[in-house]
Amino acid sequence: MDFDEIVIRTDRLDFPALTAGEGPVVVCWHGFPDHPATFGPLAEHLVAAGRRVVAPFLRGHHPATVDRMPYTDSITLAADGAAVAEALSPDAGVDMIGHDIGAGVVGRLAAVWPERVRRAVTMAVPPPKAIPPILRDPAQQQRLFYMWLFQLPGLAETVLEADRALVDYLWATWSPGLEIGDHRANVHKLYGDPQVIRNALRIYRGNFDTALHDPDLAELAGKTENPATIPLLVLAGEDDGCIPPEFFAGAESGLAPGSSVRVVADAGHFMQLDQPAEIARLSLEWFDQP
């Protein structure tokens, strides 16, 4: 997929983004360690179906925004998502797909700013209400070793800045057998920037360090962790080596009525690359519902 790069101007920040196609917008939010361009194979199917795909860079993950990240909490990222949606469609909500960290962006955005969402899909991460039980499981704690490593200032930076070995390991274990081809170069280039690395680490530290939370958004904290007020399609990869599908079993309790949780066969964590045609089919069916 040949993307054009654009800048989405909002009252919060100007967001660089990749875009392709014409028609109703689908905003795709990426995660870690990832790059918006990995939505390319999925975008090919969405564009062929008459959609315009817009894949922004998360705040702090592009040279234009690396120094624009005073806060890194999940509410900050969700507010960014709402601002982008408003800029792209001031008078109506847009369809959204969120992967990994992007899943949290979309889920929390839908909880607080549902008017900015028409229909939404989240991938590879359960809704916020399902996260605490996951963190209490010892085997899952082991899979999330990188999260604990990232809490250690200095050591985490040293590991990630030395080379991209940890990034490659996460990709290989999260989506076993996936051949990422040219996407590897994009991911390596993005996380070869020490400033981007530090911003990504601060997102993970913002899960626990309230000094990284925007005080102006603090009153929204309760709403963002509650179930979204609109139905979501939540997708889990059958072979996900980061968060296995069994941890999505109770996800419905954290979702609005009418939501759906699906396990995608022969897909790992990076399901937009593992099974782009199937993800497109499921997403378009969800978007096209009345």
Instruction: Give the separation between CA 64 and CA 71, rounded to whole angstroms.
Output: 16
Q: Above pLDDT 90, what percent of the chain? A: 91
For range 238-245, the mean pLDDT: 97
Cβ pair 228, 201 in contact under 8 A: no
- Sheet with 232-237: strands ordered across: 4-9, 14-20, 52-56, 25-29, 94-99, 117-123, 232-237, 260-264
Q: In the chain, what are the domains? A: 4-287 (3.40.50.1820)
The pLDDT value given to residue 253: 81
Instruction: Give the separation between CA 14 and CA 29, rounded to whole angstroms.
Output: 15
For range 260-267, the mean pLDDT: 97
Which tens digit of pLDDT belongs to each residue from 129-160? 777 788 889 999 999 999 999 999 999 999 99
Quote the pTM value.
Answer: 0.97
Which tens digit of pLDDT belongs to each residue from 41-75? 999 999 999 999 999 999 999 999 999 999 999 99
Question: What's the distance, CA 204 to chain centroid?
Answer: 13
The pLDDT value given to residue 255: 93
The band of 36, judged by pLDDT with boundaries at 50, 70 and 90, is: very high
Q: Which has the closest alpha carbon to 100: 30, 204, 173, 190?
A: 30
